Structures are given as C-alpha cells and as structure tokens.
A and B are shown apart, each in its own frame.
Chain A
Amino acid sequence: MHALKKSLLISLWFMFLTFPIMVIRVNTIEHTVIWRWNNLILIGIGSFVLSLIWPWALRRREASRAKDSTAQAQVHILDRLAANKNILRTVIVALLALFLAIPLLGTTYQTNILISFLLYVILGLGLNIIVGVAGLLFLGHAAFYAIGAYSYALLSQYFGLGFWLALPLGGLIAALAGLALAFPVLRLRGDYLAIVTLGFGEIVRLVLENWSSLTGGPSGVSNIPRPGLMGMQLDVAQANIYVYYIVLVMAMITIVAVARVKDSRIGRALQALREDEIACQAMGIDRVGVKLMAFSLGTAWAGFAGVIFAAKTTFINPASFTFFESAIILSIVVLGGMGSNLGVILGAAFLVLLPEYMRAFSEYRMILFATAMVLMMVFRPQGLIPARGRIYHVDDPDAHSSNGGQA
C-alpha cells in the first residue's frame, strides 16, 4: 500500500515535470497552443509502473547477490554458457559459418553493417588491452583509428602505396603514435589519464582538420583505392564483399592475438599493473616498459581497423573520428565486460547492430544508449560477460585436493 502511494506521488511528480515539454506545444506561426493530454496520461502510467517495478528489481538483485555469496553455484546464465566448452565451440562454429555465408545471401546493406560491427570488434578488443587488462582509463581511441585511416589515405595519395602494404604500416604508425602518447602520461592514472587521452584525441582530430595542405582539412581525403584482388577489377558490391572477408579475417586474427597476449607473461604483467603498481614493481616488473607495451599493443589494432575503414568507405574526413567514437568504443568495452574478449564482441554487437536494425527508434538512439548504460551499471556493473580468471591444473600426485579447491 505504501509502495503504491509512493509510486502515485512519483508519477504525479513526473507528469508535472514533463508537462511543459510533453504536453504543451506552441505553434508560433499560427499562434495556437496544442494540448497533448494523452501524452500526460502515458507518462503518468509509465512512470507509475516503472517506479513500482524499480525497487522490486533492486530487491531481487540484492537477494540474488546474497545468494551468490552463500552458495557460489548460483552463477549467471551467461557465465554458465560461456563456461561450457562444448556449447561455446558449437556456437563459435555456427557463428563462423553464418558470418562466412552472409555476404553471399544478404544484401550489400547487411554486409556493410557487419563490416562496421567487425571493425568495432577490432577496435574494442584493442582498447580492451589498455582499459580492461592494464586498467588504464583511455578516452582517445578514435585518434588512433584516425591515424590508421589517414596513414592509408595519405600514403596511397602521395606515394601510391597499396592496401596490403598500408595495413601493417597503418598498425605500426598507430602503435608508434600510442608510444608517443604514452611517454608523457606515464605517471598518470585514472581520471587524469582519461582527461589527457581525451585531449590527445581532440588534438589529433584538430590537426587533421586544420592541416589542410596535407590532409585536405575538413573535407578529408577521397578516392582512396579499394583493396585489389590480384589485379582483378571489382565492382562496388564485389569490392564490398571482399573488404568484408578481409575484416572478418582481421577480426579473427585480433581475437586470437588478444587472447594470446592476455594469457601470457606480458599479459599477466599488464594485469599486475592494473591491480597494484607498487607491488608490480616490487615483483620485478618494469612499470614503464609494461605501460608502453599496453598502449602500443592497444593502439596498433585501432590502426589496422582505420586502414580497413578507409579502404571500405574510400572517403574519410575528421568528422568520422570525434570523441563520440572513442566513447562508443569505450562503452563497448565497459558494457561487454572489462578484460573479457567475448564480452567485448557481445558489447560491439549490442551497440553497433541494435541501433542499425532498430532504425525506427533512431531518434531515441542516445536515450536508449544512456538508459542501457544506467541499467547496466545498476544491475550488472561487471559487464555482460565479466572476465573470468583462468583455471589452472597441475598434476600433483600427493595432493588430490589440488583440483578439488572450489574454483
């Protein structure tokens, strides 16, 4: 009863708050005022229901968390799915077959969407090394995406360099730029690092915009050649499909490479850096070296993605690489689950595919975005698929309990 009264009050309050924007519409030309009363009713009902559900959902979450701590068996369904090797393998094979077949079955439009999805997977996985694994809050990823794209555009414009040469070069240039950024920010952490990297991103964009003699300024670079297939002349649709397969292979390489890095001596050093910088040094890890490694490893992938992006669109300008882009990539990592590769792929699917397929709601895109973020932070702050530590097995003849430890 108390809850009902409270919800009623909340809905009244919301009706009052939104009254000026949702109900009154003033037509300044005809000097009439339209009263949209049905909007008021909708808002009232909506906020009433939401405010009823909200505390209930919070309580449910608290309850499930309490259960979690008492019995660890209560694992989220996503975690359980991700943990099962067989299911995982089947899903991967099925997805791979689907992804291989899509350009042959689907339309150019669909192929295009998937290309941008895969590009974001590459970008997200790269950023995941910096943010998720090494724990460095990094807000300038789009700058390195831009550096990769402009590397290819300018190298081909001025030196006639082909796509296949530009691809590794673009990655290398982006990695070097990552190093160049890393040196001055070695001592920074957390918010400070975020601000500096954000600034760096803007600097790169402004340079691209204003150095007109080299980069073409705000109008960008056009007529960037598409990748050639052994001298064959491809029409636009074919070239698109070809780019799709390139980016698919590149995404798979990224997935494998990032997983390998994470699960290596270097990867462990990166995680140690995230956990505790002083202890990390006291364990004999070179803090500076590892930080530089994190930056260059992460930004190199942005460079690769940039080259492919330039080759796909054949036209680039600085407007494609704004802070908004960095924010989306960061959201992919946070939403998917920091440090978790599978999570990043899901996050990319969520943030890139959903808006595309829900064009009907495109006006409300930012609202949906923000709502999704808030809901995530409240109900699943660790991301869709949180990073899980690796389970190690050691053959130890005189300790049977070793595998029995409840992991």
Chain B
Amino acid sequence: MHAVLDVTAVSMNFGGLRALSEVDLQVHSGEIVALIGPNGAGKTTFFNCITSIYTPTEGQVWFTPQKGERTRINGMKPNLVTTLGMARTFQNIRLFKNMSVLENVMIARHCRTKAGIIGALFRPAAVPREEQEIVEQSYALLKYIGLHTYMNEQASSLPYGAQRRLEIARALATEPSLLLLDEPAAGMNPQETEALKHLVLKIRDEMDMAILLIEHDMSMVMSLAERIYVMEYGCLIAQGTPAEVSSDTRVIKAYLGEDAHA
C-alpha cells in the first residue's frame, strides 16, 4: 500500500488570513479517508490546494498515480493534475449547466482523448470512432451512477441530489487514481445519502481508487471512512480511526463548541 497522496506541511495564506497551517495528510491506495471539521475550518481550501486551483503558500504535495511515478504537484496547472489522475467534485455544484447530462460527462473525457482541430475539421476515420467511444463510455458511466435515463436533459434541470451524483460521474470519467468528494451528501435526503454511501463503496471496490471525502454527515463519515482527519481553524487537531477520533477530547470540544454557538 503506497501513499497515493502525500501532503507535507502545506500552508495557505489569503493576505493576512491563514486558512491552512502546516497540514500533513496521506491517502493510501484503496483507502477511503475523511476530512472533517467545523464550517470555515479550511477543508475546501485544502482541496483547492492539492488540485492546484490555489498554489499553496508553503509545503509540498506529492501525488503517485496508479501507473506512474511520484510527482510533486504543488504549483502545477490544475488541468495537468487532473490528467495525472486526481479528480474532484465541488461543494457548490459546478456542472456545465446549459449542457446535457451526457455532454457533462463527455467533456470529462477530454483529457483521455486527443482529436485536435484538424481532426475536427476533416474528420479522418479515427475521429468519429473516438467520438463514438466517448459517447459510449460516458453513457456507461451514467448508467453506473443511475442517471442514464436523463442523458439528454439539461444538467441544471436535474434534482439536487442527481446533480451531485452527476458531478461524481463526471469526475470518474477522467479515470482518476484519487477521487476527492467535497460534501457529496449536502442537501440530500436520508435515502439519497444511504444510496450515496453504497455508491462510494462500490466505486472504491470496483474501480480500485482511493477516495478522500469532506463531509458533515457524521453517520456517513463514521460508516465509510477507514481513517479520519479533523481540522479546525486550518490546523489538523486529530487523526485516526473513527473510534479513535470520536473519543478525542479536542475533537469533542471543537464540535461541542460549535454546537454551543448554534
């Protein structure tokens, strides 16, 4: 079991605000790891740092794709990080709203296909073949996630829960070694959350990838994650198995403190 993701001492400053401070985190292959913490703890910022949407102020992010070498990815272009094998979903859903459900997944095949502008204009035999493959693979993924009946619908017309699942399908289409899920259950009802739990397990087992997940739904975190990292004010305050973390006094204080405010 090698570390797919190895983050050492990553910090992120926004002007005077230190959103992340010396965060260390590892995800090993085949693992489901959760990152939890109160609102504004810096979890999404952490995702943005490792996917290179932000460049971390300090620290190193190492990524080892399934069939590839250990690569330092902090400061790399975000599209290259995706091409290497890291895919994510967004907390505030970022689908391509005016495009169809199928096209949303097809776009994600971009980094695994190669037809260029000359191919688009003159359409040599290889290009329509590749297009056909893109359609079929995308459709297969939609079916896997259970959205194939909506393939020609506009993405924005889907119900909320379905949009979250479509984001997962889209991320899977880039063939990642590590899947990052940012609050996938947010806004879902209990049945949908239950189905999502099974989907995440199924993806890990059948597609053989590591999953790092941010989630506020504790029952989901406790039943899915093998290891949990807890973050507060940009610092990691605890890590370990669900049992270890849920008995940690600092974690209890962080969460109870938050509850007391609310």
**Measuring CB to CB, which residues of chain A are less than 8 angstroms from any residue of chain B?**
257, 260-261, 264-269, 271-272, 275-276, 278-287, 293, 297, 389-392, 394, 396, 399, 401-402, 404-407
Q: Does B111 contact A285, Cβ atoms closer than 8 Å?
A: yes
Complex formed: what's the CA distance from A404 to B79 in Å?
Answer: 35
B38 to chain A, nearest CB (A): 25
| A284 partner, pick from B95, B96, B106, B174, beta carbons under 8 A | B174
Complex formed: what's the CA distance from A286 to B94 in Å?
Answer: 17
Q: Does A266 contact B116, Cβ atoms closer than 8 Å?
A: yes
Q: Does B151 contact A265, Cβ atoms closer than 8 Å?
A: no
Q: Does B120 contact A392, Cβ atoms closer than 8 Å?
A: no
Q: Does A261 contact B117, Cβ atoms closer than 8 Å?
A: yes
* B24-32, B82-90, B251-259 - the one binding chain A: B82-90
Complex formed: what's the CA distance from A279 to B170 in Å?
Answer: 10
Known: A264-B119, A287-B79, A392-B135. 8 other contacts (CB 8 A): A268-B107, A275-B99, A278-B90, A285-B110, A285-B111, A392-B102, A392-B139, A394-B135
B147's nearest neighbour on chain A, judged by CB, is A405
B119's nearest neighbour on chain A, judged by CB, is A264
Whether B113 is near chain A, meaning CB under 8 Å from some CB there, is yes
Number of A-B contacts (CB under 8 A): 139
Whether B39 is near chain A, meaning CB under 8 Å from some CB there, is no
Complex formed: what's the CA distance from A287 to B121 in Å?
Answer: 21
Whether B145 is near chain A, meaning CB under 8 Å from some CB there, is no
Q: Does A266 contact B117, Cβ atoms closer than 8 Å?
A: yes
Q: Which residues of the partner chain B approach A402 to less than 8 Å between Cβ atoms?
A: 139, 148-149, 151
| B96 partner, pick from A260, A275, A287, A404, beta carbons under 8 A | A275
Residues in B64-112 with C-beta less than 8 Å from chain A = 77-79, 82-83, 87-88, 90, 94-100, 102-103, 106-108, 110-112
Q: Which residues of the partner chain B approach A391 to less than 8 Å between Cβ atoms?
A: 100, 152
**Measuring CB to CB, which residues of chain B are less than 8 angstroms from any residue of chain A?**
51, 53, 77-79, 82-83, 87-88, 90, 94-100, 102-103, 106-108, 110-117, 119-121, 123, 127, 130-131, 134-136, 139, 143, 148-154, 170, 174
B185 to chain A, nearest CB (A): 20
B127's nearest neighbour on chain A, judged by CB, is A264
Q: Does A271 contact B120, Cβ atoms closer than 8 Å?
A: no
A399's nearest neighbour on chain B, judged by CB, is B148
Q: Does A389 contact B100, Cβ atoms closer than 8 Å?
A: yes
Q: Which residues of the partner chain B approach A269 to less than 8 Å between Cβ atoms?
A: 107, 110
Q: Does B151 contact A285, Cβ atoms closer than 8 Å?
A: no
Q: Which 5 residue pairs are nearest across A and B when measured between Cβ atoms?
A: A284-B111, A264-B120, A407-B152, A284-B82, A275-B96
A387 to chain B, nearest CB (A): 9
| A389 partner, pick from B87, B99, B115, beta carbons under 8 A | B99
Q: Which residues of the partner chain B approach A267 to less than 8 Å between Cβ atoms?
A: 120
Complex formed: what's the CA distance from A281 to B51 in Å?
Answer: 10
Q: Which residues of the partner chain A approach B79 to less than 8 Å between Cβ atoms?
A: 281-287
Q: Does A389 contact B103, Cβ atoms closer than 8 Å?
A: yes
Question: What are 22 residue pairs bridging A and B, where the CB atoms are less than 8 Å apart in the complex?
Answer: A261-B117, A265-B113, A265-B130, A268-B99, A269-B107, A271-B103, A272-B110, A278-B90, A282-B53, A282-B90, A283-B111, A284-B82, A284-B111, A285-B107, A389-B99, A389-B103, A389-B152, A392-B102, A394-B151, A396-B139, A401-B149, A402-B149
Q: Which residues of the partner chain A approach B99 to less than 8 Å between Cβ atoms?
A: 268, 271-272, 275, 389
